[in-house]
Chains A and B, each alone.
Chain A
Amino acid sequence: MRAPGDKSGLKAGDTLLAVENVSLTFGGVKAISEVSFDIRKGEIRAIIGPNGAGKTSMLNVVNGFYHPQHGRITYKGQTRARMKPYQAASQGIARTFQNVALFRGMSTLDNIMVGRTLKMHRGLFWQMLRFGPAMAEEIEHRRVVEDIIDFLQIEAIRKVPVGKLPYGLQKRVELGRALAMEPELLLLDEPMAGMNLEEKEDMCRYILDLNNQFGTTIALIEHDMGVVMDLSDRVVVLEYGHKIADGTPDVVKADAKVIDAYLGIERGVSGPSQESEAT
């Protein structure tokens, strides 16, 4: 499989995406308030938090679906103006959804081929002929897609309409579709939700392989703490739209606020805030 196009020229460890003081409100509801964090190139960054903490909203902000009222987002060294999702896509941000958002009427192959849309350039004229350059382009991208199918081990279902696939495989196809974009930043919204242990292990393997072999930067939301602590390089914890902790898994695990958020407050013990910016 091809490594994602490295157009930014950033080295591993440089800041790929920086979110600064971002606030997002819907009417009177504050979904995110004053959250700052960064994602470094080549790392696996987990975003965790209880339900309704604003994790998915955060991804939607990064993606361009939501426009934050305050704060700024710097991606590849450039502070971003309001942008549309397709612009985020063209800058190399891909994502998967919490509830599978595949194109249900299309086959696995076609779904992943849609991920190549931005890289295909032949216009209506050649598409009408489906011959010569158009066919050559189609086959060139088919080859890339077949590599992805190979990587995700979904060869057997390439011609099956995705609506007929079991949930675990649908998640895998969705990952494949995101990979087809050769993303620099891959956002995974609960990639392991609703999976059994075996499927989870497979998914973890794919995520680690992606990160190790191709250096893809990954931001993931996940509720399985075992997975989060094992996979991620750094973790940011949100609660009610606020950031309550940020750091390596070990630091976050020991953070009193995080323990409070997840296990409930132990009366009289809750210590002072330990805003730890560790690396």
Chain B
Amino acid sequence: MFYREAGQFKQSYAADQAIFPIRQDRIGLAVILLIAFVGIPLFGNEFLLASVMVPFLILALGAIGLNLLTGYAGLLSLGTAGFMGVGAYAAYKLSTIFPEVNILVWILCSGFFAAAVGAVFGLPSSRIKGFYLAVATLAAQFFLQWCFVRWSWLYNDNASGAIEVPARTLFGIAITGPSATPVTRYLVVLTIVVVMTLIASNIVHGRIGRSWMAVRDMDIAAQLMGIRLLPVKLLAFAVSSFYCGVAGALMVFLWLGAAEPAAFDINLSFVLLFMVIIGGLGSLIGSFFGAALIHILPIAIRMLPDALGLSIGAATVEHLTFMIVGALIIFFLVVEPHGLARLWQIGKQKLRVWPFPY
């Protein structure tokens, strides 16, 4: 009843090509952004900001990166954590070599290093696809992690083998290091994630995004349209790795504060892949849904007994959390194999015709 586009006529192709052509969607987005930028920083406590929202946004950014590659270009990758690590180590090296340059510049620049590495490890995609490509990208994962351990120059010969984030400021306000407040860190991460999501959305709605999807759906026909497969696939690897690299840099600089090579192990690659699959392949909003389901849901379940006044042992809660999250993942995949994003689409469609069935 409220969500219905009746009467909203498009007068121009520009209006029809808009990313949110329906007015209610635009209002909804504005409300979400308002809550994210104003509501949460004002009313959220330190725990919500630092342990829920910041990791959620960073993981969502990584999931968007993987989704561009796997969901849009159809190239399965298990090297995501490796590419995130490249971003993190590049940002660390750059910020320690050139401490006078603003850290945000280096966090974004680190994406280019990840993009270059990603494009190199994307070369096998010219010959192989599907699960075989996933295995080939596994090589990237193991090789890069080996570099992070063995190549001591990368962590400035630190005896612990870890990288520690130096304290850096923006306009005199600490944004990294121990003195940075959760609110500042949250706002910095949020701004970067929102801008990069917008850019990703622009790319996938344009010529490049269509070429990616064409290669994903039918590569023979794509070639006939004049699309050269290798450059398109490498661009997908590069853009995807850029997003992963920035996510990795953000993860170390604005979330963890320090990182060992183990932070970028294959588990992280799998977690991101699950987020993309559960959220919905080929959907940007699905990346957020997937990240929310895998990161926020367990936290919420853990807090539930306290909120309800039940006294359950911490270990039991932990076990229950695993069971509930696992069951929910199976449930969602059975209900809708195309992910939460498709459920969202169906829900919106139902809302459009409500209270009628169709």
- Number of inter-chain CB pairs below 8 Å: 100
| Partner of A127 from B17, B207, B216, B220 at Cβ < 8 Å | B207
**Which residues of B sit under 8 angstroms from A139, Cβ to Cβ?**
12-14, 17
Question: Could you list 14 A-B pairs, sorted by A, with CB under 8 Å?
Answer: A86-B227, A86-B228, A97-B221, A101-B218, A101-B220, A105-B213, A110-B210, A115-B225, A118-B226, A122-B206, A124-B203, A134-B206, A135-B14, A135-B17
CB atoms of B217 and A104 under 8 A apart: yes
With contacts A86-B227, A110-B213 known, what are 11 further pairs, Cβ within 8 A? A84-B223, A85-B220, A103-B213, A103-B222, A105-B213, A106-B210, A122-B207, A134-B206, A139-B14, A139-B17, A146-B13
Give the docked Cα–Cα distance between A97 and B224 (Å): 11
Known contacts A105-B217, A117-B207, A135-B14; A127/B223 CB under 8 A:
no
- A276 interfacial contact with B, CB 8 Å: no
Measured CB to CB, the closest approach of chain A to B246, in angstroms, equals 14
Known contacts A89-B223, A105-B216; A127/B208 CB under 8 A:
yes
CB atoms of A118 and B206 under 8 A apart: no
Q: Which residue of the partner chain A has the closest CB to B206?
A: A127
CB atoms of A106 and B208 under 8 A apart: no
* Chain B contacts to A: CB under 8 angstroms: 12-14, 17, 199, 202-203, 205-211, 213-214, 216-218, 220-228, 235, 239, 282
Give the docked Cα–Cα distance between A84 and B226 (Å): 10
Q: Which residue of the partner chain A has the closest CB to B74?
A: A105
CB atoms of A181 and B202 under 8 A apart: no
- A221 interfacial contact with B, CB 8 Å: no
Measured CB to CB, the closest approach of chain B to A26, in angstroms, equals 17
- A82 interfacial contact with B, CB 8 Å: no
- A67 interfacial contact with B, CB 8 Å: no
**Which residues of B sit under 8 angstroms from A129, Cβ to Cβ?**
202
**Which residues of A sit under 8 angstroms from B14, Cβ to Cβ?**
135, 139
CB atoms of A128 and B17 under 8 A apart: no
**Which residues of B sit under 8 angstroms from A95, Cβ to Cβ?**
224
**Which residues of A sit under 8 angstroms from B224, Cβ to Cβ?**
63, 85-86, 88-89, 94-95
**Which residues of B sit under 8 angstroms from A208, Cβ to Cβ?**
none
CB atoms of A181 and B226 under 8 A apart: yes
Give the docked Cα–Cα distance between A129 and B13 (Å): 17
**Which residues of B sit under 8 angstroms from A69, Cβ to Cβ?**
none
Max chain A CB contacts within 10 Å: which of B220, B226, B235?
Answer: B226
CB atoms of B206 and A114 under 8 A apart: no
Which residues of A from 124 to 151 have beta carbons under 8 Å from B?
124, 127-130, 134-135, 138-139, 142-143, 146
Q: Which residue of the partner chain B has the closest CB to A104?
A: B217
7 tightest Cβ-Cβ pairs between the two chains A and B? A89-B226, A130-B202, A103-B217, A118-B226, A85-B223, A101-B221, A127-B206
Max chain B CB contacts within 10 Å: which of A84, A117, A129, A138?
Answer: A117
Q: Which residue of the partner chain A has the closest CB to B12?
A: A139
Give the docked Cα–Cα distance between A36 and B210 (Å): 38
Measured CB to CB, the closest approach of chain A to B286, in angstroms, equals 14
- A228 interfacial contact with B, CB 8 Å: no
**Which residues of B sit under 8 angstroms from A86, Cβ to Cβ?**
223-224, 226-228
CB atoms of A120 and B207 under 8 A apart: yes
Measured CB to CB, the closest approach of chain A to B121, in angstroms, equals 20
Give the docked Cα–Cα distance between A106 and B72 (Å): 11
Give the docked Cα–Cα distance between A120 and B12 (Å): 20
Give the docked Cα–Cα distance between A236 and B205 (Å): 43
- A79 interfacial contact with B, CB 8 Å: no
- A45 interfacial contact with B, CB 8 Å: no
CB atoms of B220 and A114 under 8 A apart: no
CB atoms of A127 and B218 under 8 A apart: no
CB atoms of A130 and B221 under 8 A apart: no
Measured CB to CB, the closest approach of chain B to A48, in angstroms, equals 23
Q: Which residue of the partner chain B has the closest CB to A85?
A: B223
- A177 interfacial contact with B, CB 8 Å: yes
Give the docked Cα–Cα distance between A187 and B27 (Å): 47
CB atoms of A103 and B214 under 8 A apart: yes
CB atoms of A127 and B202 under 8 A apart: yes
- A212 interfacial contact with B, CB 8 Å: no
